[in-house]
Amino acid sequence: MFWQLFYYLLLTCSSEQCILTRKMKGKLTLWPLIASIYLMVAGGPFGLEDIVAQMGYRGALLVLLITPVVWALPSALMVAELASAIPEEGGYYIWARRAMGPFAGFMEAWLTLTGSIFDMAIYPTLFVSYLGHFNSAITAGGRGFWIGVAMLAACALLNLGGAKAVGASSFASTALLLAPFAVLSFYAATHPGSGTPHAPAHYDFLLGILVVMWNYMGYDNSSPIAGEVDRPQRNYPLAMAVTILLVAISYVVPIAAVAATGLSSDQWTTGGWAEVARTVLGGGMMAGALAAAITVAGMIGAFGTCNALTMALSRLPAVLAEDGYLPKTFAWRHPKTGAPVVAIFACTLVWALALNLSFAKLIILDVLLTGLSILMEFASLIVLRVREPELPRPYKVPGGMAGAVGIAICPVLLLILAMVRNTAEPVGPVNALQLGAILIAAGAGTYFMSARARR
């Protein structure tokens, strides 16, 4: 299946269309789209440090290699088909509404936006964490919270420039954040150690799976901006193919290279890439410079991911407003850039409310709610195969209906694991699974109230 995406790439690039990519004013072209998707999904190998510490190198690399096959690849294939077949602004909301009706479309948007409350709080948290590596006093005494709020506000302001401006900044951010890891990987690979790192005796395997699922989640978030992408029928399948490789390489290569040096996995800590680099290089000026560069890269990655996701997620309230589910003011757009101004600032305000939750709670709630929305997208893929078999599909998941159903099996099983783990994570007086159920029920109630108001 993955190789068919690349086969599609080769066929497309053999045409005259690939010789020169036509520039369209205000629209995302292929490479800025790839960079934006990379940031939506990964934003660098940050957040993987705890996986190495808890599971050891072999366990971490095994999970990082298996998860893209059973979780990320099915999502990328699904998005490649649907986004190229229905390249409309609103993305997965439009797919679900078209396949299963207005209630399904609304719940798809609700799950995504509710999940984003927890997801978007992660990136300011990571930004503040890396900033604190330079001087912990900067983020102490409650200042970290306001720095996080300022980061969200900066992303909102940058998004007023429109999709093209965000795409250009995403391309620059991706290049800058990956450069220090390329240096670290090269140095570590050319300076192997003699020791064999031992594996930890005990670790939370389910939490490890959830964290890696989160690190490979987000391909579908590129779909709400489909109306602002240049030649989406061509560029979405190509972007999915390139991005899934780039994400896997940027995760696996640095960890595998460090493992070859013999550094113990016990020396990995949350946000500890800088210290890992310092240890691998053995101290000195070069080690200090690389550690500082990785810390800055962590801040760039957190900001870049937040910026790209603000672009994608803010389109949902705008489209919902156009369909009458939200006040029409949410659909107001900047006259020059087309950015949904009110929706951008409304989302930013809501995201700031979750900044004080712990990293583990944020990930668990995000995986549950966003995972359910992804399952609805797989359902949309299958239903549209039945209801609209003649729909032109520039890229089509191979294997007919069996292929469309088959790629959804592993994501369903992983979501069941997420639900099992959610029962063990308290969030106030309830566990994370119960809170997720309450939020889902609130979405259904909101739909019926808004539907009555529309009448």
In the 3-class helix/strand/coil scheme, how is 178-246 assigned residue by residue?
HHHHHHHHHHHHCCCCCCCCCCCCCCCHHHHHHHHHHHCCCHHHHHHHHHHECCHHHHHHHHHHHHHHH
Residue 22 has pLDDT above 60, yes or no: no
Q: Can you give the pLDDT at residue 16?
A: 36
Q: Which has more pLDDT, 288 or 203?
A: 288
Binned at pLDDT 50, 70 and 90, residue 436 comes out as: confident
Residue 430: phi, psi to the nearest 5? Answer: -125, 170
Give 361's pLDDT tier (boundaries 50, 70, 90). Answer: low
Q: What is the structure's pLDDT at 21?
A: 34
Give me the DSSP letters along 36-83: HHHHHHTSSSTT-HHHHHHHHHHHHHHHHHHHIIIIIHHHHHHHHHHH
What is the distance between the alpha carbons of residues 329 and 116, in angstroms, rounded to a whole number? 21
Q: What is the pLDDT of residue 209?
A: 75
Per-residue pLDDT band for 18 (boundaries 50, 70, 90) equals very low
Q: Give the pLDDT band (50/70/90) at residue 382.
A: very high
Q: Tokens 């078999």, residue?
A: 389
Nearest Cα neighbor of 117 from 147, 141, 152, 80 is 152
Angle of the 273-281 helix axis to the 163-189 helix axis, nearest 10: 30
Q: What is the pLDDT of residue 354?
A: 78
Task: Summarize the confidence of residues 413-425 as an average pLDDT.
Answer: 70
Report the b/e string of 296-323 with b at 16+ CB within 10 A.
bbbbbbbbbbbbbbbbbbbbbbbbbbeb
pTM for the structure as a whole: 0.88
Which residues are paired to 340 by β-bridges? 333
Q: How does pLDDT run across 210-235, given as a tens digit for each residue? A: 778 878 988 999 999 999 999 999 99
Q: What angle do CA 111, 88, 307 make, to 5 degrees?
A: 60
- Residues of the chain above pLDDT 70, percent: 85
Q: What is the mean pLDDT of residues 91-102?
A: 96
Please report, for the chain, the start and end positions of each structural domain, with discontinuous segments joined by +: 27-454
pLDDT at residue 198, as a whole number = 60
How confident is the model at residue 15, as a pLDDT?
39
Separation of CA 421 from chain center:
21
> Picking from 10-24, 205-219, 344-358, which range would have the lowest pLDDT averaged per residue?
10-24
| Assigned CATH class of 27-454 | mainly alpha
pLDDT at 224: 95
Residue 9 has pLDDT above 60, yes or no: no
pLDDT confidence of 283, banded at 50, 70, 90?
A: confident
* pLDDT band per the 50, 70, 90 thresholds, residue 200: low
CB atoms under 10 Å from CB of 104, counted, come to 20
Could you read off the pLDDT of 144-198 as tens digits, one per residue? 999 999 999 999 999 999 999 999 999 999 999 999 999 999 999 999 987 666 6
Q: Which residue has the tokens 């951008």?
A: 344
Percent of the chain as helix, strand, coil, to the nearest 5: 75, 0, 25
At 253 the three-state DSSP class reads helix
Per-residue pLDDT band at 432 (split at 50, 70, 90): low
Between 122 and 99, whose confidence is greater? 99
Q: How confident is the model at residue 132 (pLDDT cuts 50, 70, 90)?
A: confident
Taking only the tens place, the pLDDT of each residue in 34-93 is: 999 999 999 999 888 888 988 889 889 988 998 888 889 999 999 999 999 999 999 999
Q: What is the mean pLDDT of residues 384-413?
A: 94
For residue 19, name the pLDDT band (cuts at 50, 70, 90): very low
* pLDDT per residue as tens digits for the range 238-252: 999 999 999 999 999
Question: What is the residue-wise DSSP string for 94-142?
Answer: HHHHHHH-HHHHHHHHHHHHHHHHHHTTHHHHHHHHHHHHH-HHHHTTT
Report the pLDDT value the prediction gives residue 24, as an integer from 0 to 100.
Answer: 39
Say what the pLDDT of residue 98 is.
97
Is the pLDDT confidence value at 353 over 60? yes
- Mean pLDDT score of the chain, rounded to an integer? 86
Model confidence at 341: pLDDT above 60: yes
Does the pLDDT value for residue 14 go beyond 50?
Answer: no
Pairing of strands 426-427, 430-431: antiparallel
pLDDT at 136 over 50: yes
94-98, 211-215, 419-423: segment of lowest average pLDDT: 419-423
